[in-house]
């Protein structure tokens, strides 16, 4: 079996990357502080600090972008190859979902 090299191959191997869009929970507040995003989840009683990459991904969670689309944007914004971007985006979106900060649009 060959390793995926094209975008279509990556998406085929990671169906969830193009299956749905995520959006930020409307009751969660965020603010940029010293170059990093701070996210306040009053319901859960937690404050989360996001690094630059996670902040970029968070900002794309508007219900209009799939993980695959966000990964393409990450490639351009951070000059990273697509397999790495897709892996990182999926990991960060999974973490945000597990923290209940984003929901399916």
Say what the pLDDT of residue 13 is: 45
The pLDDT of residue 54 is above 90: yes
pTM of the entire predicted model: 0.83
4 occurs within a structural domain: no
Q: Which single residue is written with the structure tokens 């009683």?
A: 45
Q: Is 29 among the domain residues?
A: yes
Cβ-based neighbours of 58, under 8 Å, separated by 6 or more: 24, 30, 37, 39, 50, 96
Q: Could you read off the pLDDT of 4-43 as tens digits, one per residue?
A: 334 344 444 455 677 789 999 999 999 999 878 999 999 9
Quote the number of domains for the chain: 1
Q: What is the pLDDT of residues 60-103, one digit of tens each?
A: 999 999 999 999 999 999 999 999 999 999 999 999 999 999 99
Residue 11 within a domain: no
Q: Residue 78 has which token pair?
A: 């951070």
Domain that holds residue 79: 25-104
Determine, yes or no, domain membership for 100.
Answer: yes
Is residue 79, in this structure, part of any structural domain at all?
yes
CATH of the domain at 85: 1.10.10.1150
Q: Is the confidence at residue 3, as pLDDT, over 90?
A: no
User: If pLDDT is split at 50, 70 and 90, which confidence band does 57 have?
Assistant: very high
Residue 53 counted as domain residue: yes
- The alpha carbon dihedral of 66, 58, 13, 76 has a sign of positive
The reply to whether 46 falls in a domain is yes
Asked if residue 40 belongs to a domain, the reply is: yes
């Amino acid at each position: 079996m060959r390793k995926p090299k094209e975008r279509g191959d990556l998406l085929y191997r990671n169906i969830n990357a193009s299956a749905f869009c995520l959006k930020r929970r409307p009751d969660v507040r965020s603010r940029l502080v010293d170059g990093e995003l701070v996210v306040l989840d009053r319901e859960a009683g937690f404050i989360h600090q996001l690094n630059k990459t996670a902040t970029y991904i968070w900002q794309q969670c508007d219900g209009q972008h799939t993980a695959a689309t966000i990964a393409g944007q990450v490639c351009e914004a951070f000059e990273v190859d697509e397999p790495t971007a897709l892996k990182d985006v999926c990991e960060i979106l999974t973490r945000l979902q597990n923290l209940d900060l984003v929901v399916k649009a």
